Structure 1
Amino acid sequence: MHDIRAIRENPAAFDAALSLRNLSPVSSEILSLDADRRSRISAAEAAQAEQNRASKEAGAAKGRGDDAEFDRLRALVAAKKEETARLQADATALDARLRELLLGIPNLPVESVPPGKDEADNVEIRRWGDPRNFEFTPREHFEIEGVKPGMDFETAAKLSGSRFVVLQQGVARIHRALAQFMIDLHSEEHGLTETWTPVLVLSEMMEGTGQLPKFGEDSYQTREGYWLIPTSEVTLTNTVHGDLVEHATLPRRMVAHSQCFRSEAGSAGRDTAGMLRQHQFEKVEMVSITDPENGLAEHARMTGCAQAVLERLGLPYRTMVLCGGDMGFGARITHDLEVWLPGQGKYREISSVSYCGDFQARRMNARYRPEGGGKPEFVHTLNGSGLAVGRTLIAVLENGQQEDGSVELPAALHPYLGGKTRLGSDGRLA
């Protein structure tokens, strides 16, 4: 959420930053609501003061036996009490409207974010690995002979409908091995704290990280009011919800492997073949809680952690800086990692690493106490996939496929597969 004081102090800068997202100016609407709200608060305070003063004077009039003045002042007290209540109710309603407006406005990009409208305007900043030259036409993951026995979309559709998959045999074990490999790499070498969290959360937690109220249709809610998390960014980030933490405990770097759930309401008709875009999937998520001074440096570090996963697996990728028009709602700057998928003959997103500044912290009221004292400040938050497990599985299968339908597997996974090195054309590990 945005700081209303900062908007009051420099509305032009606020609108200019939003223009990087190709959004129209909104500061005038915000400030108009804010002025109305503040005027009602001021008027209510004045009416309350008059009510208190009249109440004291009424007591004095009663004491000296001036019944006429007492009756007049008592009527004035009642009128001012009613006026105060009405003005306070107006201020509360205006405050709710202002909060709703601010909650629906995306984060402000940092100055270095490139201008642009969509993914065509994103800027490549790094490329690693060379796409393999195949002596045959590479297939998409679900077309590879050795994958077919272990990737069952028909049974999943019978169980749950479209955009689900049942994994079996060697494919299921590779999927599990990938998650274990990622968690071990991040916790043992990158210094992230392995964490396990619930997948059901309260509405306040979804609001805290920006999924609500604007994107409720993209998530699932239970009859009891809980929400299924779209990613463990929600739970990891909200571990500091409402807290005042000590500066010495920052940065807090966490990683979690979890089931994730997305209704994909805004993605109808996209990537329907295979398991690229599913309603239920697994992800290894990284979250950092830090101070303002180290936010951008932490963003670079987290990007490096995600890149390391792809490099250990030998998967060619490129890193993109998203333009203003393609960035997510809560981000100030985002790096997308796009892995090479030979079956599609293009790079596809496998991780988004975002720096959110204090945007989420204001929604969560999460602050830290500066060293040496001083007024508490909002923490800064970051999140990034490290990586999406299903999409990494796709990349491993497509990049390692052989002409006979088998798949050569990355050396980094061999210890997690009991020494097995390949997925046979029969769907079994060998």
Structure 2
Amino acid sequence: MLQVTFLREHTDKAIAGLGKRNFPNAEQVIAEVLATDDARKQTQAELDKVNARINALSKEIGAMMKEGKKAEAEAAKAETAGLKTASKELSEKMTALEEQLTRQLYAIPNIPHESVPHGRSADDNEVVFQHGTIPTLDDAALPHWELIKKFDIIDFDLGNKISGAGFPVYKGKGARLQRALMNFFLDRANDAGYHEIQPPVVVNEASGYGTGQLPDKEGQMYHVTADGLYLIPTAEVPITNLYRDIILRKEDLPIKNVGFTPCFRREAGSWGAHVRGLNRLHQFEKVEIVQVQTPEKSYETLQEMCEHVKSLLMALELPFRILRLCGGDMGFTSALTYDFEVYSAAQQRWLEVSSVSNFETYQANRLKLRYRDENNKTQLLHTLNGSALAFPRIVAAILENNQKAGEGIRIPKALVPYTGFETID
């Protein structure tokens, strides 16, 4: 979440940034936050004054009793009793104001980086890079939801039988392709200096709030209500929360972690050809890279992470492009996001396969994730994450772009050592 000091000292910048996101009533919302903070400060000052008087009276009462000033001591005790009642009331008011301030701050998204373009939807995103040749398929080419039936490698009917729509069953070479992608992506991340983590796939409420999935995306997460736990929508949540309430040493930065997990998203209300087959699932697999970095180096790190994702897509021989998301299409917690899309020749459209984002201090402020600077003062860190990569649409593009009538589907050379086969036929 944003810091109150930032909103107070840079109010115009915050209003302009929220305007880029098309956030409604930004000026009024910020004014309400500052008013709550003013009330909190005033209440704290009153509470401190009352408590100081209680402490002073306590000392005076002891001295009066020693001096035999019983009447004065009893009067002081009566005053102390009244002050303790006032202190309790002020403490309760402080708690209520602090909770109100937190709720108000949770409702405000991150301020976009200056390079983020204005815009309201995905139509306003900027293409900043494109690579590869879009393949030309023959007239008999099929979309992946037909190919998986033809070669019997992924079964949606079985998944629907045992779980419901959006939970596919991977079989034979389909399952082996999934495992190949996992190992390929993890090996590449390890080669790039990432430390492998295998985190839990359920998290508590504090973890959801820490990275910003709560309260913003509460309805999109599967909630285990009896235990107060949530199925993760991405490995970003548990991996970043490893550092909640932690003060790191500057010499240990950057922190570079990678994790493979299943991911769960309710994705309610999604219908149509654009979400058929693997295009949108309730459960899917993904390798996620997460970094924790100092503020002055985080945008250099963001570019490094983008280069890593680029190298994966080039190795998979997939045509892809990179988009800088506009203010209206960015995630709630992000300051700057680059989306990676691969081209699906059979569907004749671009499919998002990765988002790489810098959250600046937004998550770190919620997490209380800090480091000690050269002056031994604690400062908030920057957090970053990216898909490297999400499997479903990668699989869809591999199947569709590499199909050839009568010859099956060619596996990219980089994956063959992991699959153990060159074609699906």
TM category, shorter: over 0.9
Write the deviation string for residues 232-263 of structure 1: whole angstroms up to 9, x where unpaired: 11122122222221111111212111111112
SS at structure 1 position matched to 2:387: strand
Quote how far apart the aligned CAs of 1:108 are.
1.0
Choose which of 262, 274, 279 in structure 2 pairs with 1:276. 279
SS at structure 2 position matched to 1:87: helix
The percentage of counterpart residues that share the same residue type is: 36
Choose which of 140, 152, 159 in structure 2 pairs with 1:156. 159
- The aligned runs of 1:166-315 (5 Å cut-off) are 166-188=169-191, 190-222=192-224, 223-265=226-268, 267-269=269-271, 271-315=274-318
- Identify the residue that residue 135 of structure 1 maps to in structure 2: 138
Quote how far apart the aligned CAs of 1:77 are.
1.4
Q: How many pairs does the alignment contain?
A: 420
- Identify the residue that residue 6 of structure 2 maps to in structure 1: 6
Instruction: Evaluate the alpha carbon distance shift between residue 386 and residue 27 of structure 1 in structure 2; reply closer, same or farther with a 3 A threshold.
Output: same
- Identify the residue that residue 18 of structure 1 maps to in structure 2: 18
Return the letter of the residue paired with 1:407. I
Q: 2: CA distance between counterparts of 1:62 and 1:256? A: 67
Q: 2: CA distance between counterparts of 1:376 and 1:15? A: 27
- Identify the residue that residue 428 of structure 1 maps to in structure 2: none
Quote how far apart the aligned CAs of 1:46 are.
1.5
Instruction: Evaluate the alpha carbon distance shift between residue 413 and residue 146 of structure 1 in structure 2; reply closer, same or farther with a 3 A threshold.
Output: farther
What TM-score does the superposition give when structure 1 sets the normalisation length?
0.93
My pick for the range that moved more, 33-42 or 71-80, is 71-80
- Identify the residue that residue 326 of structure 2 maps to in structure 1: 323
Q: 2: CA distance between counterparts of 1:423 and 1:182? A: 21
Quote how far apart the aligned CAs of 1:327 are.
0.5
Counterpart contact for 2:148–2:154, Cα < 8 Å: no
Quote how far apart the aligned CAs of 1:149 are.
1.2
Structure 1: gaps of 5 or more residues: 425-430
Return the letter of the residue paired with 1:335. Y
Counterpart contact for 1:145–1:406, Cα < 8 Å: no
What TM-score does the superposition give when structure 2 sets the normalisation length?
0.94
Q: 2: CA distance between counterparts of 1:16 and 1:281? A: 37
- Identify the residue that residue 423 of structure 1 maps to in structure 2: 424
Quote how far apart the aligned CAs of 1:59 are.
4.4
Q: 1: CA distance between counterparts of 2:197 and 2:123? A: 36
Q: 2: CA distance between counterparts of 1:309 and 1:227? A: 30
- Identify the residue that residue 35 of structure 2 maps to in structure 1: 32
Q: 2: CA distance between counterparts of 1:64 and 1:306? A: 79
Instruction: Evaluate the alpha carbon distance shift between residue 156 and residue 54 of structure 1 in structure 2; reply closer, same or farther with a 3 A threshold.
Output: same
My pick for the range that moved more, 110-119 or 248-257, is 248-257
Return the letter of the residue paired with 1:348. L
SS at structure 2 position matched to 1:283: strand
- The aligned runs of 1:51-200 (5 Å cut-off) are 51-63=54-66, 65-136=68-139, 138-144=141-147, 147-188=150-191, 190-200=192-202
CA RMSD of aligned residues (A): 1.8
